[in-house]
A and B are shown apart, each in its own frame.
Chain A
Amino acid sequence: MTQISLSDTAVEGVRLIARKPLAVLIWAVVIFVAAAIPIALFFGTLAPAFTDLMRHSMGGSPPSPEDMMKFQLRWMAANGPIMLCSLVARAVLMSAVFRAVLKPEDSRFAYLRLGKAELLTGLVYLCIVIMMFLLMFVGMIVLIGLTIAGAAASKAAAVGVAVVLGVALIVLLIWVILRLILALPMTFAEGQFRMFEAWQLSRGHALQLFFIGLLAFAIVLVIEMVVGGVIGFTVIGVIASHASAAGGASSFFHRPPAEWIGQLAPWLVLGGAIFALFGAAAMSIMYAPLAAAYRLLSAPEPQATV
């Protein structure tokens, strides 16, 4: 059986960033734009209704049910396109990472495309997410039912049942994700919707995939702590300096939102750009190992020489 090299596969994303830094930079721009569009759509659609609701609430008169209904309808209408936009962006970027690993020569447009491969990869991603939600939902019903029943015996039994079943459910969810996750690069590489074929491919490799994921996640976590720390301290510092100039945080935020948002806007954009860069790096680090693992496992077994 083909073995996956843990150290080689897990750092495939880091290697990709070192090999193609410009592509990763362009992916960051895509993340920034893909995040900015929904935010603009969100504020453009909801800001007036939200301001109205806030004005009513602050004026002491609660908003009428009609106003609340209008706001909810706008919220729902804005939510759909936002989710769609985010799904498309994820599919495009994920496919770009897979392309960079599996078809490195196909480097036009920084590996970014919007075609059949992206559509299928996005669909498989959505399917895996929904399947996990369903599994979690069923698992939670079983867990709650058995915990309540266990409570009849004793409180300790209920806690024991809840802990054991909770851990078992988490292990089951992780195991199923590991068995299905290679469906993403597989679908991309083969240009066909693949789901249960990945189950066969990952047979006997769940533990290796788990450690690869863990290592990749650890790398992302370290970067996140550094980047998050820098952004966090910068944000706090900038807000504190603006607030002290305005005579304290309370008076700074009590001004009209357009005013203080305008003052902080350059910093928000800068923070967003750093966040997008981190996002692109994190995606490379998390998705590239999947493509590398798929490449290894799907390669034909070497013929034994006589």
Chain B
Amino acid sequence: MKTFSPTDAALEGFRITREKPRVLLVWSIANLIVSTVMAVALIAMFGPMLAEIEAMNAGSDDPAQALAMFEKLAPFYALVLPVGLMVIAVWSGAVYRVILRPADSKYGYLRLGGDELRLAVLMLIYVVLAIGFTFVLTLVAGLLSAGALAIAGPVGKLISVLIGLAAIALFIFVALRLSLSGPATFAERHIRVFESWTLTRGNVWRLLGAYVVALILAAVVVLLALVIFVAVAAIVAGGDISSVGKVFQPDTSSITSYFTVPMVVYLIFGAFLGAVQNAVVYAPPAVAYRELHGPVGD
């Protein structure tokens, strides 16, 4: 059975950022451009509405108001979701390219082509599959729980909780077994929905370990960076912490009110941090795929 080192997989993203600083710079600049363009577009199109929704949202639990809010937000999501999907596909594609096709380094490994389109389609397929699987799992777990409650009486509650926990564990297990689909689709230039299942046989614990460590490290890096950012910003602002806190709740009513000096600094900082985070999060499955599948000929 082929295996891989979970520690190496978890750290691959950090290795990329250390060994390829120019690539990290390109990703940071691209990240900054995307977040700035998105912010400008969203504020220009929906800015006053977002501010109004925020005001509506404050201190209201009325379902009718929530529905009205959702109706207002529908066009906003219609724009954000497809763009967000493509952005994720481009970022994950770039990280997969560094690991699986290291020689293909043009444009800092960033592209918007067939590979990215396949990754976006794969994500959509997985969203649909996840919804369907969750529905079936919930239905089966619900029926079994109802049966246990009817047959086993008071002990049935205990059994039904165990069934619920088993359903959650099954969901996580399936997600882990299918987690190499992205790198497989990228490497083989075909949408691979279930190939990952065969590849990951016997490696579920290693995958879980790699993903948990990678996510923890990503969270630690972000938290440490934010602590340093807030501390430095507070010193620059002459100890005025509340002015620093405003970058986390920006004024979206107009472009000029959004792009304050602290906000611009935060966007630049966030772009760099986002680039590091993308590398750390998307690299582990690509490394696991490379080790478990072996080289893929072009």
- Are both chains from one complex? yes
Residues of B187-237 whose CB lies within 8 A of A: 206, 209, 212-213, 216-217, 219-220, 224, 226-228, 230-231, 234
B37 contacts partner chain A, Cβ-Cβ < 8 Å: no
Given the contacts A84-B227, A130-B220, A131-B212, A193 and B158 also touching, CB distance less than 8 Å: no
A149 and B230 within 8 A (CB): no
**B162 to A, closest residue via Cβ:** A146
Contact with B along A79-90 (1 / 0, CB 8 A): 011011000000
Given the contacts A150-B158, A153-B157, A196 and B231 also touching, CB distance less than 8 Å: no
A73 and B231 within 8 A (CB): no
Bound Cα distance A83, B228 (Å): 12
A70 and B7 within 8 A (CB): no
A214 contacts partner chain B, Cβ-Cβ < 8 Å: no
B170 contacts partner chain A, Cβ-Cβ < 8 Å: no
In the complex, chain B residues whose CB is within 8 Å of the CB of A126: 216, 220
Q: With both chains docked as a complex, state the minimum distance between the C-beta of B175 and any C-beta of chain A, in angstroms.
A: 15
A152 and B231 within 8 A (CB): no
Count of chain A residues with a beta carbon within 8 Å of a chain B beta carbon: 31
In the complex, chain A residues whose CB is within 8 Å of the CB of B165: 142, 145
Given the contacts A73-B242, A195-B6, A195-B7, A149 and B227 also touching, CB distance less than 8 Å: no
A146 and B161 within 8 A (CB): yes
Given the contacts A77-B241, A123-B220, A127-B216, A196 and B157 also touching, CB distance less than 8 Å: no
Given the contacts A73-B242, A146-B161, A149-B160, A131 and B216 also touching, CB distance less than 8 Å: yes
Q: Which of B158, B160, B162 has the most CB of A within 10 A?
A: B158
Q: With both chains docked as a complex, state the minimum distance between the C-beta of A65 and any C-beta of chain B, in angstroms.
A: 13
B94 contacts partner chain A, Cβ-Cβ < 8 Å: no
A8 contacts partner chain B, Cβ-Cβ < 8 Å: no
Bound Cα distance A137, B155 (Å): 25
Q: With both chains docked as a complex, state the minimum distance between the C-beta of A153 and any C-beta of chain B, in angstroms.
A: 4
A194 and B7 within 8 A (CB): yes
Given the contacts A84-B224, A149-B158, A195 and B213 also touching, CB distance less than 8 Å: yes
Bound Cα distance A73, B243 (Å): 11
A103 contacts partner chain B, Cβ-Cβ < 8 Å: no
Q: With both chains docked as a complex, state the minimum distance between the C-beta of B9 and any C-beta of chain A, in angstroms.
A: 10
B7 and A80 within 8 A (CB): no
Residues of A115-134 whose CB lies within 8 A of B: 123, 126-127, 130-131, 134
**A74 to B, closest residue via Cβ:** B241
In the complex, chain A residues whose CB is within 8 Å of the CB of B50: none
Q: Which of B6, B209, B213 has the most CB of A within 10 A?
A: B213
Q: With both chains docked as a complex, state the minimum distance between the C-beta of B229 and any C-beta of chain A, in angstroms.
A: 10
B154 and A81 within 8 A (CB): no
Count of chain B residues with a beta carbon within 8 Å of a chain A beta carbon: 34
In the complex, chain A residues whose CB is within 8 Å of the CB of B230: 77, 80
B164 and A145 within 8 A (CB): yes
Residues of A219-260 whose CB lies within 8 A of B: none
Contact with A along B22-57 (1 / 0, CB 8 A): 000000000000000000000000000000000000
Q: With both chains docked as a complex, state the minimum distance between the C-beta of A157 and any C-beta of chain B, in angstroms.
A: 8
In the complex, chain B residues whose CB is within 8 Å of the CB of A153: 153-155, 157-158
Q: Which of B5, B154, B164, B216 has the most CB of A within 10 A?
A: B216
Bound Cα distance A123, B216 (Å): 10
In the complex, chain B residues whose CB is within 8 Å of the CB of A61: none
A52 contacts partner chain B, Cβ-Cβ < 8 Å: no
A152 and B220 within 8 A (CB): no
Dominant secondary structure at the B interface: helix
Q: Which of B153, B161, B219, B224 has the most CB of A within 10 A?
A: B161
**B241 to A, closest residue via Cβ:** A73
Q: With both chains docked as a complex, state the minimum distance between the C-beta of B29 and any C-beta of chain A, in angstroms.
A: 27
A130 and B157 within 8 A (CB): no
**B9 to A, closest residue via Cβ:** A196
A161 contacts partner chain B, Cβ-Cβ < 8 Å: yes
Contact with A along B148-174 (1 / 0, CB 8 A): 000001110110111011000000000
In the complex, chain B residues whose CB is within 8 Å of the CB of A196: 5-7, 206, 209
In the complex, chain B residues whose CB is within 8 Å of the CB of A69: 242
Bound Cα distance A154, B220 (Å): 43
A197 contacts partner chain B, Cβ-Cβ < 8 Å: yes
**A193 to B, closest residue via Cβ:** B11
A127 and B241 within 8 A (CB): no
In the complex, chain A residues whose CB is within 8 Å of the CB of B157: 149-150, 152-153
Contact with B along A45-82 (1 / 0, CB 8 A): 00000000000000000000000011001100100110
Bound Cα distance A300, B231 (Å): 47
In the complex, chain A residues whose CB is within 8 Å of the CB of B280: none
Q: With both chains docked as a complex, state the minimum distance between the C-beta of B56 and any C-beta of chain A, in angstroms.
A: 21
In the complex, chain B residues whose CB is within 8 Å of the CB of A145: 161, 164-165
Bound Cα distance A69, B219 (Å): 26
Contacts A123-B217, A150-B157 aside, 4 further interface pairs with beta carbons under 8 A come to: A74-B241, A131-B212, A145-B165, A195-B10
- B residues in contact (CB < 8 Å) with A: 5-7, 10-11, 153-155, 157-158, 160-162, 164-165, 206, 209, 212-213, 216-217, 219-220, 224, 226-228, 230-231, 234, 241-242, 244-245
17 interchain pairs (CB within 8 A)?
A: A74-B241, A77-B244, A80-B230, A126-B216, A127-B213, A130-B216, A131-B212, A146-B158, A153-B153, A193-B11, A195-B6, A195-B7, A195-B209, A195-B213, A196-B6, A196-B7, A197-B5
